[in-house]
Amino acid sequence: MSDARLAARLRLERASGIGPRTVRKLLDAFGSVDAILDAGREALGAHIGPAQVRALCAPASAETARLLEATLRWREQPGHQVLALGEPGYPELLANIPDPPLLLYIKGRAELLARPMLAMVGSRNASTQGKTNALAFAEALSGAGLCIVSGLALGIDAAAHEGALKAQGSTVAVIGTGPDLIYPARNRALSERIAIDGCIVSEYPVGTPPLSGNFPKRNRIISGLAAGVLVVEAAAQSGSLITARQAAEQGRDVFAIPGSIHASLAKGCHILIREGAKLVDTAADVLEAMAWSPLVRKAATAVPAQRSGSSVPAGTEALLAALGHDPVEPDILLASLAVSPALLSSQLLELELVGMLERRPGGRVQRVAK
């Protein structure tokens, strides 16, 4: 994209009162960004309000000029590019949602945007089991050739990116800041790996800080890039449910991993399943539902939600069997096992140290499948 074409698109995008839906409406009416900017007040007024017409007919602001200069400097760096709606390289599925971004800022392997994608989302405050499941599913699905899309948040998002980076499908991170910023800072190292082996995508201009309103908006891009969305773990009021519902509105498949009826982080997935999301407990379930090829489906058939891991510490076998997979109060374990409180405490600590047990709210403990 030439500097002049980028300048025109920044001018349209930054005009007051002009959002993605209005841009799509104007492009449908006039055919191109240049035609929109060249249209007179009367022609524009047939499609948008007076305030929007005034904003589009005003000269480019000094702020937009400074933003163009900063964007051009950013684009000069290796692996950086800007894609525009309606131009080569712009993801086809995303272009067909009702409110696609006019500009996408890309850092990394832009060719991944042409691959079949699956979005994976879930709680930021994820359980150990949830993160284990996210990593295992992402690794299997990426190994089957799907590119895994998520939002670079803590918890499920980060685990999904990590799992995808282990396999050939790689990963795309859709962020809620400008492409030159990293948020959250704790995911800096992960972000740097994705920028090399995957792809980072933002609709927000260079220098945009992590404003709270940006993150719900970017969720439509996560779902819009993908053929389906898998919710790994989510509370009843989770933002992941918004992403899943946007996916359904966009005509995408929605999948959810069920959990314990006692787990608050399973409530969101159970709500989605009641609303029509497909219940899955293996990566193969996702591939089959997406009508993926038998060859790659076979690669994921044996990969369930849990993964093999550490051996059981000596002497804790009975405790581990008594735990099951629902949260339980230690007093109930004491009664069922007939052991001393000191021994139970010691065994619980041993299981926790090897990652086979997780402390839950209210003093309860829960087995983590390995």
Matching residue, tokens 């685990």: 159
Say what the pLDDT of residue 298 is: 40
Are 133 and 226 contained in the same domain? yes
CATH number at residue 352: 1.10.10.10
Are 153 and 275 contained in the same domain? yes
Over range 215-238, report the average pLDDT.
93
Residue by residue, DSSP assigns 191-252 as HHHHHHHSEEEESSPTT----TTHHHHHHHHHHHHSSEEEE-S--TT-HHHHHHHHHHHTT-
Are 351 and 280 contained in the same domain? no
Are 146 and 266 contained in the same domain? yes
The per-residue pLDDT for range 145-185, each reduced to its tens digit, is 899 999 999 999 999 999 999 887 799 999 999 999 999 99
Angle between helices 20-30 and 3-14 (to 10 degrees): 120
The per-residue pLDDT for range 324-362, each reduced to its tens digit, is 777 888 888 888 887 888 788 778 877 877 888 887 777
Residue by residue, DSSP assigns 317-366 as HHHHHHHTTS-B-HHHHHHHHT--HHHHHHHHHHHHHTTSEEE-GGG-EE
Are 206 and 250 contained in the same domain? yes
82 forms bridges with which residues in the sheet? 105
Confidence of residue 370 (pLDDT cuts 50, 70, 90): low
Tell me, yes or no, whether 308 lies in a domain: no
Are 296 and 335 contained in the same domain? no
Tell me, yes or no, whether 101 lies in a domain: no
Are 323 and 275 contained in the same domain? no
Are 232 and 355 contained in the same domain? no
**Top-confidence residue, 301 or 82:** 82
Tally the C-alpha atoms within 13 A of residue 322's C-alpha that lie toward its C-beta.
Answer: 22
Q: How far apart are CA 254 and CA 227, in angstroms?
A: 9
Are 283 and 331 contained in the same domain? no
Q: How far apart are CA 241 and CA 221, in angstroms?
A: 14
Is 0.85 topped by the overall pTM? no
Tell me, yes or no, whether 253 lies in a domain: yes
Tell me, yes or no, whether 97 lies in a domain: no
Structural domain count, the chain: 3
Are 288 and 342 contained in the same domain? no
Are 150 and 175 contained in the same domain? yes
Q: How far apart are CA 203 and CA 215, in angstroms?
A: 11
Are 33 and 169 contained in the same domain? no
Say what the pLDDT of residue 361 is: 74
DSSP letter (8 states) at residue 109: -
Domain that holds residue 274: 110-300
Lowest mean pLDDT among 10-19, 39-48, 163-172, 330-339: 330-339
Tell me, yes or no, whether 235 lies in a domain: yes
